[in-house]
A and B are shown apart, each in its own frame.
Chain A
Amino acid sequence: EDQVTQSPEALRLQEGESSSLNCSYTVSGLRGLFWYRQDPGKGPEFLFTLYSAGEEKEKERLKATLTKKESFLHITAPKPEDSATYLCAVQAGYSSASKIIFGSGTRLSIRP
Chain B
Amino acid sequence: SYELTQPPSVSVSPGQTASITCSGDKLGDKYASWYQQKPGQSPVLVIYQDTKRPSGIPERFSGSNSGNTATLTISGTQAMDEADYYCQAWDNSAYVFGTGTKVTVL
Q: Do A and B come from one complex?
A: no
| Residues of B bordering A, CB below 8 Å | none
Interface residues of A (CB under 8 A from B): none
